[in-house]
A and B are shown apart, each in its own frame.
Chain A
């Protein structure tokens, strides 16, 4: 029976292949049915299998594919399958002009399965397998446009990802040779180190962190993320706000809290080095975002910066920072996907990609741009929005741990965030021709409704954050 927990992983992959083989005109219903079914499967697994574990293949001690969804994995899986539904509706409209979308949607669905595979992995080698597969399966999505530039970008993406994976592999080998096990265990599997072991485990930690840091766009490995914006907007939204970068973050959480263990890391002192990188990521990401003229690139750099916020929860070890980091992982996913959807709608219907071109768009697409503005405010973190909640926890945790630089950086970066997001909607609303001369032309409902619902969720969580906080604090308590 417990094999049911594999359903959310393999069902999307199989239905993707099925969709590839069926005709174009049955695409839409099949796609909708399969994402909704998979959402139901995920919810089913999450609620009815609290302690399930499946050993899929055990060939030997190393090649041992083991799935055991714990609380962290379940949260991530639910996040992924929820956002996938919205994105599917959005993508159906966005991709409607394109001819051969079957193979696009095959990879699109398979990516969901593989991301949930990452969420449900019960040991590091399974995680690593799905992590590599994620790179391979998202590659066709990134280069969907097929132009030479897209191919070049795709190669950059592959190279960065495999470079990171190589670092990870090195770390895993070092780890495995000492412990002969790669299972996840809350609190880590290493325990207290002797003085001679410190440099070795410092090396293990740094290699694993930097390796997974590539997918989580840690500076200096971030430059694939803005380049990958060449992908169609649903893909950018999903992959670069949820699936790919959050898989990186999720893997970092696994190694920090479940493999090496935060106490061990603190003992090696490795988090001091990574904290510096994380803080640089926050500042540099938002700083670079300000100078971008292209809207999608601006959001991409914003992602780099926001991922830095989340990573604070992984390098400063207090329950508050972890809660803040986890909350920000969820909130940022919802906010960033909304922002991408809005910009995508502008690109799709108005064919405008640069900041200077969108003057007056707010009058033509009032609902879309209002949603954009609300979500921007959430990202900046003005109370009472959800962004405020997560940043609050991060700042409190930073102060408690004695890192007074963290609240300062957070405030500074919030200013930068305002500086790169506000111009977008001031340009959209307050510049350009007066309101009388413009015709209101909102996007198609398939596109608009996801945007509205997502914005609604952002606002709702901002007012009632305790719903999520309780859950996340439970997780933080388990880990500390």
Chain B
């Protein structure tokens, strides 16, 4: 029973999703979503416990043999990511129940929750599935539902942003589909494990094919996860979407494709095969470029949410950097960064949403002195920005530290400078908000202390996320060891 939970999760989310539009009373919609997401947290935790006790396992659906059937594969990373995702979804849903009615029209709230559920289904689908075509289907579903979550606000800019996202994403999906087809033509399998066996036996006969498949995967998934310089759609999409949507999009959706890329590199090809392929260095290069330019562009932004969105481009750069190192240490820390950043960025987006709605302005300029009016909110923002800047014990520091150690392991000392430069750049755009928010005579003029009340339902999820973020930093040793079990 417990071993079947991943499948049950996917089905349960998919089926309950369509109940939302049928519920008339908004209060019940909120209530229903709470129940679903709390159940999901419990069930993903149970899966995690199962994996802790029994180790990684494959779950065959339909046919008992993996040749025909769909297969899910749950190892430590998948189980852990499942828990993190379910917690973030729960928090975002709680947050949404207090603010979403201000951002979208009332008759669409049911639709919003439907899309959240579908998106959630597709995300854990991508994470769990051990079958490339199945993963592709979930990728498509995630793209469409993410588009829906952006467009649901029904304003000119969101429609434009969503169309941009849709076009770019479709190109990405096309590339992924092409590479899957190519892979199938060579190996005759869609299952990652079976394909891997074939590749290991024959890859020396097809050196170019391996290169092409991996390039196509990297490009396709890179577009979808906004890997620099394929990030053009992200700032518009993430900044114009309703706040809960942007939190999910920025902290979870773009990460999932990176998880898939990790699976492809580690499980489909194996590090031994990819380590001589030039594409790994290209991933590393794009990651480094993203870390620097994402931050540089974030500095130039005038709107808060756009700035945070560009910061996500930089953070995806960290993940790509870890992958591009092509070592076990690099992959481990890439996964750790996905978790740490998911918690940090979701809370930053929720906080930004709160500040924007309370301050009635989306510009950073107008946030001066906000710390006087919303002290707790800005303190939470400060904590999250400490992680971004890399103060010790926060997850951002841990990622930086272990990424640097991973570089040293490969004797690439100069790469550390990129990591450090990027965190200094983070300082340049996160701290001015904190400083101008709390300090400065001019900034505080006319601001009344604690005048902007924050709904506890909005604050609770943010506080929880920040606490989890801190714990992720403090218990980083254990978490990293746990992640490393998957890459053993």
Report A's interface with B, CB cutoff 8 A.
Answer: 57, 59-63, 125, 128-129, 132-133, 136, 139-140, 143, 145-148, 150-151, 154-155, 158-159, 162-163, 166, 169-170, 173-174, 176-177
Contacts and interface: CB of A to CB of B under 8 A. Distances in A.
Contacts of B436: 151
Contacts, number: 88
B477 A155 contact: no
Contacts of B475: 59
A173 B408 contact: yes
Secondary structure call for the B interface: helix
Instruction: Name the interface size band of chain B.
Output: 35 or more
B444 interface: yes
Contacts of B400: 169
Nearest to A150: B440
A132 B436 CA distance: 20
Given A155-B431, A166-B424, A174-B413, 12 more contacts: A60-B477, A62-B398, A125-B392, A128-B392, A132-B391, A146-B444, A151-B435, A163-B424, A173-B401, A173-B405, A173-B408, A177-B404
Interface of B: 389-393, 398, 400-401, 404-405, 408-409, 413, 416-417, 420-421, 423-424, 427-428, 431-432, 435-436, 438-442, 444, 474-478
Contacts of B409: 177
11 contacts: A59-B476, A125-B392, A136-B391, A139-B435, A147-B442, A151-B435, A158-B427, A166-B421, A166-B423, A169-B420, A177-B405
Contacts of A169: 390, 400-401, 420
A63 B477 contact: yes
Pairs A-B, 10 closest by C-beta atoms: A60-B477, A146-B441, A177-B408, A129-B392, A173-B404, A166-B420, A151-B440, A59-B477, A146-B440, A132-B391
Contact of A146 (B392, B421, B424, B439): B439
A174 B420 CA distance: 13
A132 B476 contact: no
B441 A147 contact: yes
B375 to A, nearest CB: 11
A166 B417 CA distance: 9
A62 to B, nearest CB: 7
Contacts of B420: 166, 169-170
A173 B416 contact: yes
Contact of B392 (A132, A139, A147, A173): A132
B391 A59 contact: no
A29 to B, nearest CB: 25
Contact of B427 (A129, A143, A162): A162
A43 B423 CA distance: 39
A466 B218 CA distance: 71
A410 B407 CA distance: 44
Most-contacted residue by chain B among A125, A155, A173, A174 (CB, 10 A): A173
Contact of B477 (A62, A128, A151, A176): A62
A174 B408 CA distance: 8
Contact of B478 (A60, A132, A151, A163): A60
A228 to B, nearest CB: 15
Most-contacted residue by chain A among B408, B431, B439, B476 (CB, 10 A): B439
B184 to A, nearest CB: 42
A101 to B, nearest CB: 15
B238 to A, nearest CB: 27
